[in-house]
Amino acid sequence: MIKLSGIEKIYSTHKASVTALKNIHLEVSAGEIFGVIGKSGAGKSTLIRCVNLLERPDKGSVIVDGKKLTLLSENALRQARRNIGMIFQHFNLLSSKTVFENIALPMRLAGISEQEIKKRVLSLLDLTHIADKQHQYPKQLSGGQKQRVAIARALASEPKVLLCDEATSALDPQTTRTILSLLKEINQRLGLTILLITHEMEVVKQICDRVALLEQGQLVEEADILKFLTTPKTMQGKNFVNALMRQELSPVIKNRLISEPKPHALPIVKITFHGVAAAEPIIFHLIENIRLEINILQAQIELIKNETIGTMIIEINDKKNGLEEGLTYLKNKGLQVEVIGYVEHALV
């Protein structure tokens, strides 16, 4: 549905040139929700604006729904953009127009009949759960209601693709969850392809099917969301997952951690698990059958895409020389196991 090939974007001033995007290759399949994450300044907004050519790339091609947008005339591009809806962080509603009129505006500009406009607007109001707000003005709405209007307006041209540019960044956590649930509902009911950019990790966890990590204008990792959360391949990916899953080590552990083992030092092991492995009594087995002394230092379990994902940080006292057996047991269970360091004395 969306294919970016070799995209580069450079901003030049009289003093210097800044490469915002470098050799971006990205494909988003029809009907999926794809997230692009990254820190501020990573190039996320430039990337999503290249999809509908609000920013024209200096190199590379953009294909949406089989059309190579980078080769289209201005008139043909305007027509193609009707298949691409977009919502923004700050809603961009017209304050002088009612909710109904804001949603109707793009259809009026496209020359659609008033009868069809009324029918479509009422349907979109129902879809976005704001039918009772149609005669109100933006100043009378909450942030979440304004974003629902913006979503309805973006859907007015019946697009096949919806671009979301930090669409929940201006909302509180509870409202963010309701807007993400609405986007997921729209994705499922309409078969809409959604490409979103965000620095909010909760957004990625709640609705994305796949995710790509952007850093300094380059895509450094791309994966199915569950694989990204459980087995990130790059150090940048690991750092993001640690933040995403709130896996940062506590200061008590971090301040005493050493990288190389010393005599009698205790290994600190990070275990990542998902699926059926999350329900197995792995710690009980390590203690009872392998005779390891285990102290659980940190642990967390979450449900993502109907699958249990969790992490555990443990301290192991290997009095019976069973450490390697224990690590092998964990790996054979399909768990991700990493010795993240050592402490010279027990932490607990």
Asked if residues 47 and 197 have their Cβ atoms less than 8 Å apart, the reply is yes
Asked if residues 193 and 162 have their Cβ atoms less than 8 Å apart, the reply is yes
Asked if residues 138 and 93 have their Cβ atoms less than 8 Å apart, the reply is yes
> Residue 129 has what pLDDT?
95
Structure tokens at 332: 């054979």
CATH topology identical between 2-244 and 251-343: no
Q: How far is CA 183 from the centre of its chain?
A: 13
> Residue 44 has what pLDDT?
93
Asked if residues 89 and 170 have their Cβ atoms less than 8 Å apart, the reply is yes
Domain ranges of the chain: 2-244, 251-343
Q: Could you say which architecture CATH assigns to the domain 2-244?
A: 3-Layer(aba) Sandwich (3.40)
First vs last C-alpha separation in the chain: 53
Residue 271 to residue 93: CA distance in whole angstroms: 47
Fold of 251-343: Alpha-Beta Plaits (3.30.70)
Place of tokens 């698990």: 273
Q: To 10 degrees, what angle do helices 99-109 and 114-127 make? A: 130
Sheet holding 59-64, edge to edge: 17-28, 2-12, 59-64, 67-68
Q: What DSSP letter does each residue of 173-241 carry, written as one string?
A: HHHHHHHHHHHHHHHHHH--EEEEEES-HHHHHHH-SEEEEEETTEEEEEEEHHHHHH---SHHHHHHH
Asked if residues 77 and 135 have their Cβ atoms less than 8 Å apart, the reply is no
> Residue 237 has what pLDDT?
87
Per run of 10 residues, the mean pLDDT along the chain (length 348 residues) is: 95 86 95 92 93 94 94 91 91 94 94 94 96 95 95 94 91 91 94 92 87 94 89 85 69 84 86 72 85 87 79 85 87 86 79
Place of tokens 């607990």: 348
Residue 219 to residue 50: CA distance in whole angstroms: 15
> Residue 114 has what pLDDT?
94
**H-type alpha helices, the chain:** 44-51, 74-80, 99-109, 114-127, 143-154, 173-190, 201-207, 225-230, 235-244, 251-254, 282-288, 323-332
